[in-house]
Structure 1
């Protein structure tokens, strides 16, 4: 198994932490992992992305030009990374602020209304965990028990009281993700 993932959006949306939780989760499953963040000097409000590679075998390079999965949280990232999803791959996107929806017919496209759902749940900071749940429903690359361990490892101890709320958000992402298009085979 090898999964090459790009997670992209604005700084402050939890892009890097989502990637870190995914990486820690895979480490808990004895996978080889690469986590490589990239963000603009603005941080919060600027663009941010993280490349995560999970593999059963050694990872030769964290530098990628195409991805098995793109998890997209804003229009700029959709514009930049839609074309970089490998044919047959997955594009998962949060619909908030997206004006030009993905249109490729050689990939599987999934939509999650995570920002809207986080607002309904009265916990806007869990939007990234809703997206993570949606991804894990579409591609169960790590087990849920390891995701919870990864969450505990990546959150500072002073925030561990938020783990149950984040777990609920992940579960909600499982429930509300929906397929937009299935690639033409």
Structure 2
């Protein structure tokens, strides 16, 4: 598997950090080398938040990702900030529910995912991040879907395990968007 360097970005409270943690844990379950580096302002909820994740079969020299192979953007400010950083030939996942602007890059593959709309159809707007993660995993195949589900059970606190079926549905719906 080729090295995958991902930046995930959105408003605080959109579950960007959880997406990154899940991808990282799934990579660990598959004995891959991983790195997760969060970045957010002091305002947390409502402020901007992003994290970078690296998944590789080789050792990772640095967690810093100036030019990711993929950007997953959950809101317009994140699109404006990170679109230009993506490596040529990379992927740009756009939450089309909240971003009405078209991507400017023509040298990357743009994948529009109506994450919030799908989450609302499932009955909980908070799983938009899982919809987006499902689309990303299906498109890039950086980790197996089952590894993400196993990771979800590890990452979510036990008192939130009642949400595992909903999160699985959201991941599967995201997978269907690109399938």
Taking structure 2 as the reference length, the TM-score comes to: 0.96
Matched residues in 2 for 1:59 and 1:38: separation? 19
Aligned to 2:19: 18
Shift of 1:97: 2.8
How big is each residue's C-alpha offset from its partner over 1:14-41, in whole Å with a ceiling of 9 and x where there is no partner? 0000100010000000001100000011
Aligned to 1:139: 140
Equivalent residues of 2:98, 2:116 under 8 A apart: no
Aligned to 1:113: 114
Residue correspondence of structure 1 range 1-185 to structure 2 within 5 A: 1-177=2-178
Cα RMSD for the two superposed structures: 1.1
Structure with the bigger RCO (C-alpha within 8 Å, sep 6+) is 1
Give 3-state SS (helix, strand or coil) of 2:61's partner.
coil
How big is each residue's C-alpha offset from its partner over 1:5-61, in whole Å with a ceiling of 9 and x where there is no partner? 000000000000010001000000000110000001110000000000001011000
Name which of structure 1's ranges 7-16 and 121-130 shifts more when overlaid on structure 2. Answer: 121-130
- Higher strand fraction (1 or 2): 1
Shift of 1:121: 1.4
Matched positions, count: 178
Give the gaps of 5 or more residues in structure 1: 179-185
Shift of 1:176: 2.1
Matched residues in 2 for 1:78 and 1:94: separation? 9
Matched residues in 1 for 2:149 and 2:99: separation? 30
Matched residues in 1 for 2:36 and 2:154: separation? 15
Runs of 4+ in 1 over 4 A off after TM superposition: none
Taking structure 1 as the reference length, the TM-score comes to: 0.93
Matched residues in 1 for 2:81 and 2:127: separation? 25
